Chain A
Amino acid sequence: MLVIGELINSTRGEIQKALKEKDESTIRRLVRAQVDAGADLLDINTATSRDQELSDMEWVIGLIYDEVGEKVRLCIDSPNPKAIEHGLSLCKSPPLINSITNDKKLQQKLIPLIDEYSAEFIGLPMGGGGMPMTVDARMEEAEMLISTLQAAEIPLNHLYIDPMVMTIGSNPEQAEAVRTTIKEVKGHWGKDGVKTSVGLSNISFGLPYRSIVNQSYLVLLLDAGLDAALIDPTDRGMMDILYGAEALLERDPHCLNYIKYMRKRKKGGK
């Protein structure tokens, strides 16, 4: 599974503060920690900086490349197409866009960017008509998004459908709906290369010991076929579970990734 490190997100107080104070060391520490822990991509969201979103994004990307080199992949996370465009222009490795929806205005701006940068991107199966609460509603929106992309000749193997995880604290039935959606997306469009991704930690909002719920849910979603997730890779239990579950699900041939991970972990590296 593709691990997208979620920590550089300006809705987190620590990051909002670091952006405001141009506190390099906090950003560098979180970048280093996530990459060392095994993040494949780093999500970057500076949207709460508003009119400084673009310059803050540039500052963060500069720090990332300086800290861990230019090979690390970036997930450009913004509701603002201008910020996404700016982020893409700064990426030195294949980018991931987070995210597109069925909103026509957003699509008009993002589809040309996806095309220009041959970018991978996360698609939310929603339009303007409210949050899809059922598997069917999610699948209808996914189908709409996919046909729009096909019409624009965007390769479907660049798409990650994110069925939108909600907390079981208020909507317990949604855990299973997301799991089923992942299975159905993979069943319908897996052959075209469509993948799935989630923002995992939403599942446990409002509950105690959130990482237990997050980790358990990760196993269920991996079993359903999940391909990528925004998680906190510095949560060691999460990474342990990820490698263990992938070995069990035959997603890790000969358990070699698991062995490699544990060998490194034994040496004291994360």
Chain B
Amino acid sequence: MALYDDLKTAVIDMEVEKAVELTQKGLDEGKDAEDIMNSALVPAMDVVGEQYDKGEKYVPEMLLSAHAMKAAMGLLRPLLVESGVKMKGKVAIGTVEGDLHDIGQNLVGMMLEGAGFEVINLGAETPAEAFVESVKEKKPDIIGMSALLTTTMLHMPEVIDALKENGLREQVKVMIGGAPVTQEYADEIGADGYAPDAASATKLADRLVQ
């Protein structure tokens, strides 16, 4: 479909207005919101994520592509909700207590949205209680924790413990990431998965909701 190719290209090329315009055009032509999302927006963000991982794209470009995708999703989301389309899953993400570095987790959030997940962004410096509250209230399938500091990484097991204390651990998968975090650490604290970068985070999330 030429329209889908153009829309995909618009997102990859960071053209916000064009992405919105083409999405609207698709809807006007009677295309299905879910189909637009899955056939154009999701594949576009896949490409962007791959390019970023390979070092071909850089943070500002990724942010702008994500912005274009989000703008297009703004048109689609009400329709998706209305028609009861199931998103792939719900992910609550946050950078743990004491850690202000939210660029990484924001990228992960955008990639997850781009991959068709519903994302609840708890933001930087999210205390354990806020993770617990979000699991209680919003019932995400996954919580994603990020830490960029060796100190704040130590709050990750506290969040897992807090989930256990509240009897919520079985309801939700836990994935973690961030510069000092390793697979080894994920195993040690009993997380369900570790992702080294934003693109692998979406793959991991796909796996965790299977």
Contacts and interface: CB of A to CB of B under 8 A. Distances in A.
A10 interface: yes
Contact of B179 (A11, A128, A207): A11
B60 A169 contact: yes
Contact of B180 (A48, A80, A126, A130): A48
B6 interface: no
Contact of A207 (B59, B98, B151, B154): B59
A128 B55 CA distance: 35
Contacts of B103: 167, 169-170, 205-206
A167 B59 CA distance: 9
Interface string A33-57: 0000000000001011010000000
Contacts of B183: none
A47 B100 contact: no
A90 interface: no
A79 interface: yes
Interface in A157-173: 167, 169-170
Contact of A47 (B59, B60, B125, B151): B151
Interface string A138-167: 000000000000000000000000000001
B60 A130 contact: no
A45 B98 CA distance: 19
Contacts of B208: none
Nearest to A132: B100
A170 B150 contact: no
Interface residues of A, number: 19
Interface in A74-116: 79-80
Q: Which of B62, B150, B151, B154 counts the most chain A CB atoms within 10 A?
A: B150
A268 interface: no
Q: Is the interface of A mostly helix, strand, loop or mixed?
A: loop
Interface string B40-65: 00000000000000010011101100
A50 B151 CA distance: 9
A253 to B, nearest CB: 40
Contacts of A169: 58-60, 63, 103
A130 B59 contact: no
B67 to A, nearest CB: 12
Contacts of B58: 169, 206-208
Given A47-B151, A79-B149, A79-B151, A170 B63 contact: yes
Interface string B128-156: 00000000000000000000011100100
Nearest to B149: A79
Given A11-B180, A206-B59, 10 more contacts: A10-B180, A47-B151, A79-B151, A126-B100, A130-B125, A167-B103, A169-B60, A207-B58, A207-B60, A208-B58
Closest 8 CB pairs of A and B: A206-B59, A79-B151, A169-B59, A47-B150, A131-B100, A48-B150, A170-B103, A48-B180
